Amino acid sequence: MEGGSHGIVASRPGPLVPGLVVHKYGGTSVGDLERIRKVATRLQRAVQHGRKVAVTVSAMGHTTDRLVATARELHARPDRRELDMLMATGEQVSIALLSLALQDQGVRARSLTGAQAGFLTDGAFGSARILQVDPAPLVRTLEQVDVAVIAGFQGSDANGELTTLGRGGSDTTAVAVAAALGVAECQIFTDTDGVYTTDPHLIPSAAKLERIDYDEMLELAALGAKVLHPRSVWYARRYGVRIHVRSSFSFHDGTIVSALPRAQEAAMKTDRPVTGVAIDTEHARIDVVGVPDVPGVAARIFSALGAANVNVDMIIQGVPGNSRQQMSFTVPRDLAAEAVDVVRPVLTEIGGGDVRADEAIAKLSIVGVAIGSTPGLAGRLFDAVAGVGANIEMITTSEVRISVVIAKRFAEQALAAVHEAFGLGRNGPT
């Protein structure tokens, strides 16, 4: 859970730099020199219209993946500090190249690393949190040039150590820049033209959303919709920054992520209680069976998992009353083997039981701010899932979502059926 107080907000309300717009371009958008020139042209246009731009960029294309793979060739479990040092070079290439492309087009531009741009983080290499963004270096830079080009996904800690914010973290950099400079909107340019009712690569009838609420977007991002980094949405909600997710290949409007106006929220309850459907096939289910049904057993198991840094998502337990109990939970798939290894010795200590992992699962979720207050949605969801012959293995709910776990082989069919059942397709009822 995200929490705590972060001092990234501008010290006074309103923009610190007159006419400033905040943009972010992802890896695909700066994937080669031609695309970098296109981004430069778009920024040049903004400058010609009298704007200043604080632009955050990711590493080119799949650079970060390649850097991580290279590190792994030298060391099976690379040191996190060195990995951050390596990964951060990707963004340093793209900020310098974009600045050069801008200068070539006659635009005054300057690149800044995360540290140079005032990003102070904690010391958690590989998943550092932003503690503070000092707006002064960006304000100063934007007095001297028209475009400040900021390296996404990086900062430095109180000891001056270089840190990264977690994969996909450039979105968070961009939102933090907007918050720190008092800009109301952060435009995130990407390779899709917005946020969809579900993954349009899987379901061609998926519809683009005009707006989506922060809470819904947070759920969808956490559930694996890759369009925005979850932490960026969390920052945006906290600091009231509107996010405009849009295509870097067109000038069309994309999707606005913001707090929904009350009236609209009320209307949604009747019209369209479900905003989106997410499918996540990156988790495994761990079943713990035949453990003694006595106080403290769950505490022992989950404390051990916590101590080993295995983050647990859904948890269910069998009906009490028997002398033996069973429980199941989900973990990221790449931690499944570790979870089993952690739980096994605990079972020996507490007097028996067995543990096994099922990696062939999918988690399907419906998301919408009105879900908690609209009756009948669970039944409709379960009906649609049953309709494709899938058995529901686990269920969890919150105010804004209902999730079920099913066998992975039903994932796509079930997704299509649920999307259809809630009338989310472009041709469906609205």
Rounded least distance, CB 16 to ligand ASP, Å? 24
Rounded least distance, CB 347 to Mg ion, Å? 40
- CA dihedral (177, 183, 184, 189) positive or negative: negative
Q: Which residues of 416-425 are buried (b: 16+ CB within 10 A; e: fewer)?
A: bbbbbbbebb
| C-alpha dist (Å) from residue 153 to 27, 32, 174, 247 | 12, 19, 9, 20
- 114 lines the binding site for ligand ASP (CB under 6 A): no
Q: Which is nearer to ligand ASP, 105 or 116 (CB)?
A: 116
| Greatest pairwise CA separation for the chain in angstroms | 77
E strands, 201-350, are 211-213, 242-247, 255-258, 276-280, 283-292, 315-317, 324-332
Distance between CA atoms of residues 315 and 323, nearest Å = 20
Rounded least distance, CB 191 to Mg ion, Å? 9
* Stretch of residues binding Mg ion (CB under 5 A), selected from 2-10, 38-46, 162-170, 412-420: 162-170
110 contacts 144 by C-beta, under 8 angstroms: yes
Size of the site for Mg ion (CB under 5 A): 2
- Residues 46, 59, 83, 416: which binds ligand ASP (CB under 6 A)? 59
- Residues 28, 29, 44, 58: which binds ligand ASP (CB under 6 A)? 58
- Residues 168, 182, 254, 425: which binds Mg ion (CB under 5 A)? 168
Rounded least distance, CB 170 to ligand ASP, Å? 3
229 contacts 221 by C-beta, under 8 angstroms: yes
The site partner of 121 among ligand ASP, Mg ion, none (C-beta below 5 to 8 Å per kind) is none
- Residues 64, 258, 275, 325: which binds ligand ASP (CB under 6 A)? 64
Angle at 295 between CA 292 and CA 296, to 5 degrees: 95
- Residues 118, 169, 194, 273: which binds ligand ASP (CB under 6 A)? 169
- 230 lines the binding site for Mg ion (CB under 5 A): no
Question: Based on the number of CB atoms within 10 Å of its own CB, is 27 exposed (0-12), middle (13-18) or buried (19 or more)?
Answer: buried
One character per residue 122-161, x = contact with ligand ASP (rule: CB under 6 A): ------------------------------xx--------
**Chain position carrying tokens 């010609």:** 48
Residue nearest to Mg ion (CB): 168
Distance between CA atoms of residues 317 and 257, nearest Å = 36
The site partner of 167 among Mg ion, ligand ASP, none (C-beta below 5 to 8 Å per kind) is ligand ASP
- 170 lines the binding site for ligand ASP (CB under 6 A): yes
Q: Write out the residues near Mg ion by the rule CB under 5 A.
A: 26, 168
